[in-house]
Amino acid sequence: MDPGSVLLTVVTGAIVAFLYWLYSFAVAPFRVLSRIGVRGPPPIPFYGNQKMVVKEGKLNFFTKMFETYGNVFGYYLGQRVIIVIKDIELIKEVTVKKCNNFSDRPPQPVLLKRGSAPRGLLNAEGAYWKKLRVTLSPSFSASKMKMMAPLIEEHCQTLESILSENADTDKSTDVTLAFGNLSLETIIAAAFGRSIDIQRGESDELLTAAEGIMARVREGAELSLERIITLLSNFPWMASVLRLLASRSKSGAHYQTLARVSLALIRARRQAPDAQQSYKDLLQLMLDATADGKEEHRKLTDEEVMAQCITFIVAGYETTSSLLSFTAYLLAKNPEVQDRLVGEIEAYLTEHPDSTPYEKALGIPYLDMVVQESMRVMPPVSSTNRYCVESTTVGDWKVPAGTVIIIPIWHLHHDPQYWPQPHKFDPDRFTDEEKDKRPALAHMPFGMGPRNCIGMRFALLEAKLALITILCKYKFVPAPETEDPLQLIHGVTSSPKNPLFLRVVSH
């Protein structure tokens, strides 16, 4: 063969290889939705719809897509296939009826060194997740929450004391900061067994690491290394690059600090004499669960307990803080609701002067109605997701393995089909009679099905005890700096964009 023919063959082969590569990465991954019949915006080769989602913001993007395509639409984040479902029956299929097909969360960047630690409940998969869930669920039972209620109330009383310093003055209080400190102090005390007076300004490396992680979560919409990692995670072939970037990110460093400190605390607790009798916190409950040798698969190692401690900070800190901040804001803007709630709290405490913290939290029905309506109007988590482990059908669609299903909690909670005047704050939507009029899945602030939030009881207990402790003496009123409407950030969690200032007054 002459040199010209060889060169032509090589060039032809290179062109064919390039065209195949181009088709494999720029075209083929973006034919999935059209093939299964799910409508959505046209994708851009290589990137999918990522640019549109980032530009619009997830919440606004979802709103426009629902208006255009109805209750089900699909799009692409990089090469990752996303289907968003607002249809109640289809959501029930995903979260309940076919939960085994959708038992996992989408794969996430690894922030701890590979092989250095197991996964927490948020990102554990398959049989390992089931083992964790079965093991940890007793730690969040009603009886265990009853045992922990005095610990939570103690931190709530510290907050009430701090709020009293600005009460009945012309000073405004940043309730986002106040409730954030309460939430973080309580979680660190409960999950790590560490007493840090965060609300009074005390600090240490555990607090610094926890605050650092949540700061990076809040900055998720900004162009940072964490943002780049998140964007690249939508391209499955970038896994090795992601591990390198994650190890160099600030979040990765903070996770390493939390891992090191929490492991030391866990090992010290194991060696403490009479720990089971001396400590009444989540850390001890998890350690007690690992000590049961009757069922071998339920035993957790120190590293597994450590992973759950970190998970509780990531999952519980911002969400509980936002729940309390949003509730205080809604009460300040709706004084008639707040007056009724104050009256209900006073009546209960007068009739039950010796009630325990747990009894107080569960004994005021209108308080629960207020909290539930707050989570409907301003859910701390605007959406949740599931990962399709095996190809299956959902409704009329054949959903391939690897597809991410997003359930848009914010949009469900504001759907006029289930919530007349959806932007109105009306706790009476949660009387027993009203709840019977709509599907249970129309309200799902903690998710639904086997993979719902395991810390739901803990979060509600903390929120209710905080509100009781504050409202038995004070009320929230708008301050000159109070935003109306309140500007929000919708990232991993939903939170106020700016400091949320309110005034605290005696009643």
Residues annotated within the binding site for heme are 453
Of 385, 431, 358, nearest to 141 (Cα)? 358
Query: Positive or negative CA dihedral for 102, 104, 108, 114?
Result: negative
| Beta bridge partner(s), residue 48 | 44, 77
Whole-angstrom distance, CA of residue 401 vs CA of residue 347 = 54
Whole-angstrom distance, CA of residue 127 vs CA of residue 353 = 47
Whole-angstrom distance, CA of residue 83 vs CA of residue 397 = 11
DSSP state, 352? -
Q: At what angle do helices 302-333 and 126-136 cross, to 10 degrees?
A: 70
* Pairing state between β 494-496 and 72-77: unpaired
Query: What are φ and ψ of residue 140, in 5° steps?
Result: -115, 20
Query: What are φ and ψ of residue 22, in 5° steps?
Result: -60, -45
Q: Which alpha helices (DSSP H) does 363-471 contain, by range?
A: 365-377, 409-413, 432-435, 456-471
Phi-psi region of 2 (alpha: psi -120 to 50; beta: other; left: phi over 0): beta
For residue 171, how many C-alpha atoms fall within 13 Å in the half-sphere facing its CB?
11
Instruction: Name all contacts of 44-47 with Cβ < 8 Å and 24+ positions apart.
Output: 47/78
Of 500, 499, 494, 498, nearest to 57 (Cα)? 494
| Beta bridge partner(s), residue 504 | 476
Identity at 239, one-letter amino acid code: A
Query: Positive or negative CA dihedral for 163, 181, 312, 280?
Result: negative
DSSP state, 106? P
Whole-angstrom distance, CA of residue 164 vs CA of residue 23 = 65
Whole-angstrom distance, CA of residue 401 vs CA of residue 413 = 28
Q: What is the dihedral of CA 257, 261, 262, 265, to 10 degrees?
A: 180
3-class state of residue 125 by DSSP = coil
DSSP element (H, E) containing 174? strand 173-174
Annotated binding residues, as ranges?
453
DSSP element (H, E) containing 493? none
